[in-house]
């Protein structure tokens, strides 16, 4: 961890000695974890513990329509869930130990999609996306569950989508922080074409780390895939935090201007 320092003179019998006092900085990075549709914060608790072990303040939470608000899953909209994410970010950013220039957002599937959009609305330094989903912009305020009926998502996700045609991809195209993008080799919900659309969009990213979990499905249903993703995420976060403490970069890029 970087430290502030100042010079001191240490009195001795025959004069004084020159010394330097180093004081550790009190702020640390923050990490916000966003689960996917049908998931819960429990999926990220252990990974949050690992991030805390490398010196981060972490926050996991349940999106509306999940956890104790499961009954609202039929009616919740993307706008409502985006508002959830913004509220959670603000709680994390207000923590007295948080370095406001060092906040990471890590999301899976639907949570990754929302996380990408959020980078236009809040400062994010690091963005970790596992199998981020794509949805058409139309129907933003209708219930999220209805999108699978109203839209042909299979066809939409089977082609490369230009960043100009999708809100999440437009946000990705404007993002200037560091990105981790993780794909599952045998994903039937978020195929490679979706990942390729995100890869194509992140042209302005400061760095882009792309990984594929061999043999994995969308939900990482086997223990080996879970361990592989945890290792990828932990290694990437460790690298990002180490770079910050070494003074590798300056302030966090702010949200894109309208």
Please give the Cα distance from 159 to 135 (Å, whole number): 12
pLDDT digits (tens, 9 = 90+) for 25-46: 678 999 999 999 998 888 889 9
Q: Return the pLDDT at 76.
A: 95
Please give the Cα distance from 148 to 146 (Å, whole number): 5
Closest CA to 175 of 208, 205, 210: 205
Give me the helix-helix angle, 110-118 and 78-93, nearest 10°: 60
The model carries a pTM of 0.88
Does residue 59 contact residue 92 with C-beta atoms inside 8 Å?
yes
Q: Return the pLDDT at 88.
A: 94
Tokens (6 digits) for 96: 């007295």
pLDDT digits (tens, 9 = 90+) for 86-101: 999 999 999 988 999 9
Q: Which helix (H) or strand (E) holds 209?
A: strand 207-213
- Cα 201-39-95 angle, rounded to 5 deg: 75
Please give the Cα distance from 35 to 62 (Å, whole number): 7
pLDDT along the chain (258 residues), means of 10: 71 80 79 91 91 93 90 94 94 92 97 98 98 97 93 96 98 98 97 98 98 97 97 97 80 60
Residues 6+ apart with CB under 8 A from 20: 5, 6, 7, 8
Q: What is the separation of C-alpha 85 from the centre of its chain, rounded to a whole number of angstroms?
A: 11
Query: What domains are there in the chain, each with its CATH number?
Result: 26-245 (3.40.50.1820)
Residues 6+ apart with CB under 8 A from 71: none
Dihedral sign of CA atoms 178, 184, 188, 191 in order: positive
């Amino acid at each position: 961890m970087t430290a502030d320092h100042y010079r001191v003179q240490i009195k001795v019998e025959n004069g004084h000695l020159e010394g330097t006092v180093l004081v550790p900085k009190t702020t640390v990075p923050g990490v916000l974890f966003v689960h996917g549709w049908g998931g819960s914060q429990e999926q990220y608790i252990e990974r949050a513990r690992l991030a805390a072990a490398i010196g981060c303040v972490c926050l996991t939470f349940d999106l509306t329509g999940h956890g104790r608000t499961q009954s609202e899953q039929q009616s919740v909209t993307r706008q409502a869930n985006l508002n959830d994410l913004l509220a959670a970010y603000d709680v994390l950013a207000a923590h007295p130990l948080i370095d406001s220039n060092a906040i990471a957002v890590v999301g899976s599937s639907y949570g990754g999609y929302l996380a990408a959009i959020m980078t236009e609305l809040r400062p994010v330094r690091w963005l970790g996306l596992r199998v981020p989903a794509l949805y058409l912009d139309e129907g933003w305020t209708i219930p999220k569950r209805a999108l699978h009926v109203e839209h042909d998502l299979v066809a939409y996700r089977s082609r490369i989508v230009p960043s100009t045609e999708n809100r999440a991809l437009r946000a990705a195209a404007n993002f200037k922080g560091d990105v981790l993008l993780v794909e599952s080799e045998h994903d039937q919900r978020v195929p490679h074409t979706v990942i390729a659309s995100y890869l194509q969009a992140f042209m302005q990213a400061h760095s882009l780390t792309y990984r594929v979990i061999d043999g994995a499905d969308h939900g990482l249903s086997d223990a080996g895939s879970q361990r592989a993703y945890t290792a990828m995420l932990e290694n990437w976060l460790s690298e990002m935090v180490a770079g910050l403490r070494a003074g590798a970069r300056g302030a966090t890029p702010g949200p894109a201007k309208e």
